[in-house]
């Protein structure tokens, strides 16, 4: 039996959209796989690196830790692909300084 899908309406990058997806998917998976928006990147998928950060109703969230169903509330707005990292990853990772200094939002690094 195929996975049942839920369908929600939300504002995505300023445009009203409806998207259908399996209820177990994270917001990261919904954005990339179901909405076709690949600007939001997979990182650690543990909520540690911040590369998947999006704005959910103007609040930065790690989309790998949020279920897509969290966007089912009326008037939910998601901005993806241009959100600043919520915090810098561990400086022990060799790429961290480059990731943090390459923030698309001035002053967010």
Tell me, yes or no, whether 108 lies in a domain. Answer: no
**Alpha helix (H) ranges present in 1-109?**
27-29, 96-101
pLDDT in the model for residue 2? 65
Tell me, yes or no, whether 109 lies in a domain. Answer: no
The total of structural domains in the chain comes to 1
pLDDT in the model for residue 61? 93
Which tens digits make up the pLDDT trace of 47-94?
999 999 999 988 999 999 999 999 888 778 888 764 444 344 444 445
DSSP-derived pairing of the beta strands 59-62 and 6-12: unpaired
pLDDT in the model for residue 31? 93
Mean pLDDT of the chain: 79
How far apart (Å, rounded) are the C-alpha atoms in residues 40 and 78?
11
What domain range is 84 assigned to?
6-101
- pLDDT over 90 percentage in the chain: 46
- pTM, to two decimals: 0.70
């Amino acid at each position: 039996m195929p996975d049942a899908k839920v369908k929600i309406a939300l504002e995505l990058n300023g445009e009203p959209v409806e998207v259908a997806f399996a209820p177990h998917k994270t917001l990261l998976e919904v954005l990339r796989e179901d909405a076709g928006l690949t600007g939001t990147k997979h990182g650690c998928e543990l909520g540690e690196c911040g590369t998947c950060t999006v704005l959910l109703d103007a609040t930065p969230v790690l989309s790998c830790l949020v279920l897509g169903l969290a966007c089912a509330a009326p008037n939910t707005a998601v901005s993806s692909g241009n959100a600043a990292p919520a915090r810098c990853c561990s400086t022990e990772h060799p790429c961290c300084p480059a990731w943090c200094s390459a923030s698309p939002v001035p002053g967010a690094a």
